[in-house]
Amino acid sequence: MTCRSWWAGEEGRVSAFVVVFTIGILALAGLTLDGGLALAAKVRATGQAEAAARAGAQAIDLRAYRASGRLELLPEQAIADTRRYLASIGATGTVSVSGNTVTVTITTTQRTQLLGLIGVASLSVQGVGRARPQRGVRTAEP
């Protein structure tokens, strides 16, 4: 049996395996790359949501604070301050005030790099931040 006759019997059999194997490798690479990009987008959205919530949590009712020493939010002012902050960083999200807690949810989409080859054009990510007004420093920093 010569080399030529051995290869002649294998024509076309390997190509199907190579195609399936290549698609699998690209899908795994896509999950790794695009998953990392989606995770980075989620961290960014969460950071923006937390910063926006802190901006809203500064809308303290000074009259109530001076009269009773309690920290209370002005809900309308807190929402307006939060939305103003979101607009200044170019983000959009939902804002709610419940009691003394400002909650911000930012939802964004991350376009995919490799998963687009298998039909996944983008991934939706969401970041949530909450903040309440605080009085003074609670712990000493090193």
Q: Report domain extents, the chain.
A: 13-131
Give residue 26's pLDDT: 82
Give residue 46's pLDDT: 96
Express the helix, strand and coil content of the chain in percent, nearest 5 each. 55, 20, 25
Position 59 pLDDT exceeds 60: yes
Give residue 140's pLDDT: 66
Count Cβ atoms below 10 Å from residue 24 Cβ, excluding itself: 10
Give residue 73's pLDDT: 93
The helix or strand, by DSSP H or E, that contains position 80, with its residue range, turns out to be: helix 75-89
